[in-house]
Amino acid sequence: ELTGKTVGIIGFGDISKALAKMLSGFDCRVIAYDIYWDAEAAARLNVEYADIDTIRREADVISLHVPSTPQTNGMINKEFLMGMKKTAFLVNTARGRLVVPEDLAWALNNGVIAGAGMDVFSPEPPLPDNPLLTAKNTVLLPHSGACTIESHEKAGMMAAKNVADFFAGREVKTILNPDYQNHTEA
Protein backbone atom coordinates (compact mmCIF):
# COMPACT_ATOMS: atom_id res chain seq x y z
CA GLU A 1 0.00 0.00 0.00
CA LEU A 2 1.53 3.30 -1.07
CA THR A 3 -1.29 5.64 -0.02
CA GLY A 4 0.07 8.08 2.53
CA LYS A 5 3.61 6.73 2.18
CA THR A 6 6.76 8.50 1.01
CA VAL A 7 8.65 7.16 -1.99
CA GLY A 8 12.23 8.35 -2.32
CA ILE A 9 13.91 8.31 -5.70
CA ILE A 10 17.69 8.62 -5.90
CA GLY A 11 18.50 9.79 -9.41
CA PHE A 12 15.89 11.79 -11.32
CA GLY A 13 16.43 10.91 -14.97
CA ASP A 14 14.05 9.60 -17.63
CA ILE A 15 13.27 6.27 -15.97
CA SER A 16 12.68 7.75 -12.53
CA LYS A 17 10.53 10.50 -14.03
CA ALA A 18 8.41 7.76 -15.62
CA LEU A 19 8.22 6.11 -12.19
CA ALA A 20 7.13 9.41 -10.60
CA LYS A 21 4.41 9.75 -13.24
CA MET A 22 3.15 6.23 -12.43
CA LEU A 23 3.19 7.00 -8.70
CA SER A 24 0.94 10.05 -9.17
CA GLY A 25 -2.14 7.85 -8.98
CA PHE A 26 -1.20 6.24 -5.66
CA ASP A 27 -1.72 9.27 -3.38
CA CYS A 28 1.81 9.12 -2.01
CA ARG A 29 4.48 11.72 -1.43
CA VAL A 30 7.38 11.51 -3.89
CA ILE A 31 10.76 12.96 -3.01
CA ALA A 32 13.83 12.75 -5.21
CA TYR A 33 17.48 13.67 -5.51
CA ASP A 34 19.70 14.20 -8.53
CA ILE A 35 22.94 16.12 -9.00
CA TYR A 36 21.33 17.70 -12.09
CA TRP A 37 17.94 18.64 -10.63
CA ASP A 38 15.15 19.13 -13.19
CA ALA A 39 12.89 21.60 -11.36
CA GLU A 40 10.46 21.86 -14.29
CA ALA A 41 9.84 18.10 -14.44
CA ALA A 42 9.66 17.90 -10.65
CA ALA A 43 6.95 20.58 -10.53
CA ARG A 44 5.01 18.91 -13.35
CA LEU A 45 5.21 15.51 -11.61
CA ASN A 46 4.61 16.85 -8.08
CA VAL A 47 8.01 15.64 -6.88
CA GLU A 48 9.79 17.38 -4.01
CA TYR A 49 13.56 17.84 -3.98
CA ALA A 50 15.30 16.12 -1.07
CA ASP A 51 18.92 15.32 -0.32
CA ILE A 52 19.97 11.69 0.02
CA ASP A 53 20.01 11.79 3.83
CA THR A 54 16.42 13.07 3.91
CA ILE A 55 15.35 10.33 1.51
CA ARG A 56 17.11 7.74 3.65
CA ARG A 57 15.37 8.95 6.85
CA GLU A 58 11.87 9.68 5.51
CA ALA A 59 11.17 7.28 2.64
CA ASP A 60 9.06 4.16 3.07
CA VAL A 61 10.36 2.96 -0.29
CA ILE A 62 13.70 3.97 -1.82
CA SER A 63 14.19 3.37 -5.53
CA LEU A 64 17.67 3.69 -7.04
CA HIS A 65 18.16 5.24 -10.48
CA VAL A 66 21.79 6.33 -10.68
CA PRO A 67 24.66 5.10 -12.85
CA SER A 68 27.53 3.00 -11.57
CA THR A 69 30.39 5.44 -10.88
CA PRO A 70 33.20 5.58 -8.34
CA GLN A 71 30.98 7.95 -6.31
CA THR A 72 27.85 5.75 -6.39
CA ASN A 73 29.33 2.24 -6.22
CA GLY A 74 28.69 0.86 -2.74
CA MET A 75 26.50 3.80 -1.75
CA ILE A 76 23.97 1.40 -0.22
CA ASN A 77 26.06 0.03 2.60
CA LYS A 78 25.59 -0.83 6.26
CA GLU A 79 25.71 2.84 7.33
CA PHE A 80 23.09 3.86 4.77
CA LEU A 81 20.81 0.94 5.62
CA MET A 82 21.01 1.60 9.37
CA GLY A 83 19.71 5.13 8.71
CA MET A 84 16.58 3.87 6.92
CA LYS A 85 13.23 3.23 8.58
CA LYS A 86 12.85 -0.33 9.88
CA THR A 87 9.64 -0.52 7.83
CA ALA A 88 11.30 0.68 4.60
CA PHE A 89 11.91 -1.19 1.37
CA LEU A 90 14.84 -0.75 -1.00
CA VAL A 91 14.38 -1.24 -4.75
CA ASN A 92 17.40 -1.41 -7.04
CA THR A 93 16.72 -1.62 -10.76
CA ALA A 94 19.67 0.59 -11.69
CA ARG A 95 23.07 -1.08 -11.27
CA GLY A 96 24.21 -3.93 -9.06
CA ARG A 97 27.38 -2.18 -7.91
CA LEU A 98 25.37 0.48 -6.06
CA VAL A 99 24.60 -2.01 -3.29
CA VAL A 100 27.02 -3.88 -1.03
CA PRO A 101 25.25 -7.28 -1.11
CA GLU A 102 26.65 -8.50 2.21
CA ASP A 103 25.45 -5.34 3.95
CA LEU A 104 21.98 -5.52 2.42
CA ALA A 105 21.64 -9.22 3.29
CA TRP A 106 22.71 -8.42 6.86
CA ALA A 107 20.11 -5.62 7.07
CA LEU A 108 17.35 -7.87 5.74
CA ASN A 109 18.21 -10.84 7.94
CA ASN A 110 18.43 -8.68 11.07
CA GLY A 111 15.28 -6.58 10.61
CA VAL A 112 17.17 -3.35 9.93
CA ILE A 113 14.86 -2.75 6.95
CA ALA A 114 11.64 -4.51 5.94
CA GLY A 115 12.53 -5.77 2.49
CA ALA A 116 14.24 -5.34 -0.86
CA GLY A 117 13.57 -5.86 -4.53
CA MET A 118 16.46 -6.25 -6.94
CA ASP A 119 16.84 -7.04 -10.61
CA VAL A 120 20.49 -6.06 -10.88
CA PHE A 121 23.53 -7.71 -9.38
CA SER A 122 27.29 -7.49 -9.48
CA PRO A 123 28.24 -9.65 -11.25
CA GLU A 124 25.25 -10.63 -13.37
CA PRO A 125 23.96 -13.23 -13.10
CA PRO A 126 24.57 -13.40 -9.34
CA LEU A 127 27.08 -15.97 -8.15
CA PRO A 128 25.67 -18.91 -6.14
CA ASP A 129 27.25 -17.54 -2.95
CA ASN A 130 25.63 -14.09 -3.26
CA PRO A 131 24.10 -13.52 0.19
CA LEU A 132 21.01 -11.88 -1.31
CA LEU A 133 19.93 -15.21 -2.77
CA THR A 134 19.05 -16.43 0.74
CA ALA A 135 18.24 -13.14 2.48
CA LYS A 136 14.85 -12.68 4.15
CA ASN A 137 12.09 -10.54 2.62
CA THR A 138 13.80 -10.18 -0.74
CA VAL A 139 12.41 -10.36 -4.26
CA LEU A 140 15.06 -11.04 -6.88
CA LEU A 141 14.39 -10.94 -10.60
CA PRO A 142 16.50 -11.12 -13.75
CA HIS A 143 17.33 -7.76 -15.30
CA SER A 144 14.94 -8.28 -18.19
CA GLY A 145 11.88 -6.17 -17.40
CA ALA A 146 12.52 -3.89 -20.35
CA CYS A 147 12.98 -6.71 -22.84
CA THR A 148 9.86 -6.17 -24.90
CA ILE A 149 9.43 -5.73 -28.62
CA GLU A 150 8.26 -2.17 -28.03
CA SER A 151 11.21 -1.22 -25.83
CA HIS A 152 13.72 -2.57 -28.36
CA GLU A 153 11.95 -0.66 -31.13
CA LYS A 154 12.02 2.58 -29.10
CA ALA A 155 15.71 2.09 -28.24
CA GLY A 156 16.57 1.53 -31.90
CA MET A 157 14.63 4.60 -32.99
CA MET A 158 16.28 6.72 -30.28
CA ALA A 159 19.75 5.52 -31.33
CA ALA A 160 19.03 6.30 -34.99
CA LYS A 161 17.72 9.78 -34.11
CA ASN A 162 20.80 10.43 -31.99
CA VAL A 163 23.11 9.50 -34.87
CA ALA A 164 21.13 11.66 -37.32
CA ASP A 165 21.11 14.62 -34.90
CA PHE A 166 24.84 14.27 -34.22
CA PHE A 167 25.82 14.27 -37.90
CA ALA A 168 23.42 17.14 -38.67
CA GLY A 169 25.03 19.23 -35.92
CA ARG A 170 21.86 19.25 -33.82
CA GLU A 171 21.73 18.73 -30.07
CA VAL A 172 21.72 15.05 -29.11
CA LYS A 173 19.11 15.07 -26.36
CA THR A 174 19.95 11.74 -24.71
CA ILE A 175 23.73 11.90 -24.79
CA LEU A 176 25.31 10.75 -21.52
CA ASN A 177 28.33 13.02 -21.89
CA PRO A 178 26.94 16.43 -22.95
CA ASP A 179 30.42 18.01 -22.91
CA TYR A 180 31.30 15.78 -25.87
CA GLN A 181 29.11 17.93 -28.13
CA ASN A 182 31.31 20.92 -27.37
CA HIS A 183 34.39 18.97 -28.48
CA THR A 184 35.20 19.11 -32.13
CA GLU A 185 37.95 17.21 -33.88
CA ALA A 186 39.62 18.11 -37.15
Closest C-alpha among 161, 36, 172 to residue 181: 172
- Residue 122: CB atoms within 10 A of its CB come to 17
Is the bond preceding residue 131 a cis peptide, omega within 30 degrees?
no
Q: Which residues are catalytic?
A: 95, 124, 143
The answer to whether 93 and 141 are in contact (CB under 8 A) is no
- How far apart, in whole angstroms, are the C-alpha atoms of residue 42 and residue 37? 8
